């Protein structure tokens, strides 16, 4: 929304039922039992460190089911960035699905946008109810449904003919009893026709793909190429433009899938830093903008800051590493430092191609 005007909206038909069905199929459990398990103990892991085999397997089932939602959100982000130049700063979760453990951090890691549960009680509404985590997550949808149910319709119709007094068409009922067998046969024939139509469309699509391949091969032969008088320039321009936009959109999705997330970069830096026995590190600020990484904190001395610099220089995906003294005042006995560097967030093969 901008200036009380709707700019853009999209509905993604995905919810907790998809996760429950995935768990039910994977463990061969009844639907209600799977629903209870996902609602009470469902989770998804952002990393497999410290998890056992069963936890990793359950997380993989949930994350695979979430792939549809993540891909749809990625396409939405790309479309909005290209169409109306919108930059996403924050995302929120509502409803029962938001109760899934680690769902917010998982989506934040996949989309590189901070996503958390929306806390609305006491802010947008005034309700005298006991606040709890479960009520906080489920109440937005419940309040919305309640408001819609209490809304009075304009000029509602009064129906005085109900139950046994309702108006019935006896002729229609008689025709239904007489021709119900014929109706079943027509329904079966219609179903067969749908299958035939689908198969015919599939065959036609295969033929179209074959013809398109022949056209591409023919177009590469100068002796058989079409002349400009046989083509419509405006139609060709629109077709080429649409295909280029589609190809660029697919490339962007593939690039996002391969790009290391901010959490992955932080994990790499953390693994390279000296242990607690060597230095006493207090991190105050961590930020990453594109390929630019910045880390600010306090250590006991400049010697410890130089040790951090040496460790960061050994990282293969980091370049232009520099450590300087922080301009912010440091606590007594501490040395403030700022580490800046460039991170290669794409795999080395993709970086060389660009």
What share of the chain has pLDDT > 70, as a percent? Answer: 77
The pTM of this model reads 0.40
pLDDT at 131 over 70: yes
pLDDT single digits (tens) 215-254: 666 556 554 454 554 456 666 566 567 767 777 776 666 6
Residue 300, SS3 per DSSP: coil
Distances (CA, A) of 155 to 147, 148, 152, 158: 19, 16, 9, 9
Q: What is the CATH number of domain 16-118?
A: 3.30.420.40
Which whole number is the average pLDDT over 37-58?
Answer: 87
pLDDT single digits (tens) 254-291: 666 666 677 777 777 777 777 777 777 777 787 877 77
pLDDT at 168 over 70: no
Note the pLDDT of residue 182.
84
Least confident of 21-35, 141-155, 181-195, 223-237: 223-237
Residue limits of CATH 3.30.420.40 in the chain: 16-118
Cα 225–Cα 229–Cα 231 angle in degrees, nearest 5: 70
More confident residue, 132 or 109: 109
Note the pLDDT of residue 222.
54
Note the pLDDT of residue 224.
44
Residue 121, SS3 per DSSP: strand
Residue limits of CATH 3.30.1360.100 in the chain: 262-353
**Residue 199, strand partner residues:** none
Note the pLDDT of residue 323.
82
Q: Cα(158)–Cα(14) distance, rounded to whole angstroms?
A: 38
Note the pLDDT of residue 351.
46
Question: Homologous superfamily of 262-353 in CATH?
Answer: General secretion pathway protein M, EpsM (3.30.1360.100)
């Amino acid at each position: 929304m901008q200036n009380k005007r709707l700019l853009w909206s999209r509905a993604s038909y995905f919810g907790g039922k998809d996760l429950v069905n995935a768990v039910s199929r994977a463990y061969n459990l009844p639907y209600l039992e799977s629903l209870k398990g996902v609602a009470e103990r469902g989770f998804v892991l952002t990393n497999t460190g410290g998890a056992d085999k069963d936890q990793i397997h359950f997380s993989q089932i949930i994350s695979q089911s979430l792939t549809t939602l993540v891909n749809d959100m990625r396409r939405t982000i790309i479309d909005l960035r290209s169409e109306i130049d919108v930059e996403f700063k924050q995302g929120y979760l509502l409803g029962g699905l938001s109760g899934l453990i680690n769902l917010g951090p998982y989506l934040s890691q996949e989309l590189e946008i901070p996503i958390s549960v929306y806390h609305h009680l006491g802010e947008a509404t005034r309700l005298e109810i006991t606040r709890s985590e479960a009520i906080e997550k489920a109440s937005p949808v419940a309040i919305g449904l309640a408001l819609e149910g209490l809304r009075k319709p304009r000029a509602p119709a009064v129906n005085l003919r109900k139950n046994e007094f309702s108006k019935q068409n006896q002729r229609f009922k008689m025709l239904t009893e007489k021709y119900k067998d014929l109706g079943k046969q027509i329904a079966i024939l219609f179903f067969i026709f749908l299958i035939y139509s689908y198969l015919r469309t599939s065959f036609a699509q295969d033929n179209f793909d074959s013809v398109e391949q022949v056209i591409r091969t023919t177009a590469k032969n100068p002796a058989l190429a079409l002349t400009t008088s046989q083509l419509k320039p405006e139609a060709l321009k629109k077709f080429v433009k649409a295909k280029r936009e589609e190809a660029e959109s697919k490339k962007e999705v593939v690039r996002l899938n391969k790009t290391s997330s901010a959490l992955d970069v932080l994990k790499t830096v953390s693994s390279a830093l000296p242990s607690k026995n060597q230095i006493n590190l207090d991190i105050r600020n961590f930020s990453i903008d594109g390929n630019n990484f910045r880390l600010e904190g306090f250590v006991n001395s400049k010697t410890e800051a130089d040790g951090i610099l040496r460790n960061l220089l050994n990282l293969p995906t980091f370049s232009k590493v520099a450590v300087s003294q922080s301009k912010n005042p440091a606590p007594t006995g501490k040395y403030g430092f700022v580490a800046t560097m460039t991170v290669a967030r794409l795999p080395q093969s993709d970086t060389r191609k660009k």
